[in-house]
Amino acid sequence: MRFPSPFALRGRSLALAGLMVLATAAAPLAASAHFLGGKWSYGGGVLLPLSYVNNTSGFSAYTTAVSQAASNWYATPTPSDLYSVGSSGNITLSTFSDSGVSYWGVTQIWANQQTCFLFICWTSNSEIPYNTYANPTNLPSGWSNYTSSAISFNRYTMDGLTAFMKLKVATHELGHAQGLGHPDVSPYCTAIMQQGYLSFNTPQAHDKYDFDALYPGYWTSPWAC
């Protein structure tokens, strides 16, 4: 009967320990999903049709970017189904010009909030209290689903961006408007929901996974990173 050498055992143990250390060290490199809290009303397993009003007439570069950004989301294996209307949309997109900030785009989201004091309760339509969650999470107590969203592009800071980057910003902001937040990402895991200059301008595997996690049942994108 042969027994393994104690040195061989030690070697395997060391190798295993080394692998575990590597795995632990590599874990923070993975992107943790980020969600804003709350979402649009969604029955599950179906499309999520949301209308948008593209108030960018006269600023054709932005008109194009918004239209292409909606197509970007439509093309993903997610329930995202954004469509353009002339008025009364779920999401409103506008431009402004402010030379006193460095931001490119800003997104706001509203939801109904029931507030109670003693036994008197009332409902108001307020902007959501943004947060970052690793998993899809409801808004705090009293809040219901999103009712509307507004996206605005700062022409002063964006006019100098390439068409490629304008599309990146529009796709990023439409991601916010649908409930996605900024993920913590590593160089090995990319997402359109990252801030700043990127070498791509379409939703990435991580974004699709997040979207399907937030609105489950229609599609299940594989976990990417």
Footprint on residues 21-60 left by another protein (CB under 8 A):
36, 40-41, 46-47, 49-51, 53-59
Task: Kindly provide the b/e burial profile for residues 154-167, where b requires at least 16 CB atoms within 10 angstroms of the residue's own CB.
Answer: bbbbbeebeeebbb
> What 3-state DSSP class applies to 5?
coil
Partner residues linked to 214 by β-bridges:
none
Binding mask 196-215 for another protein (x = CB under 8 A): xx------------------
Contacts to another protein from residues 90-149, by CB under 8 A: 90, 92, 94-110, 113, 115, 117-120, 124-130, 145-148
Q: What is the identity of the amino acid at 191? A: A
Residues 146-175 that bind another protein (CB under 8 A): 146-148, 150, 152, 155, 157, 169, 172-173
In angstroms, the first-to-last Cα distance of the chain is: 46
Helices (H), ranges, the chain: 6-26, 60-74, 155-158, 163-177, 205-214
Residue 163: CB minimum distance to another protein, A? 16
CB of 13: closest distance to another protein in angstroms?
Answer: 33
Supply the minimum distance, in Å, between the C-beta of residue 81 and another protein: 6
Whichever of 11 and 142 has its CB closer to another protein, that residue is: 142
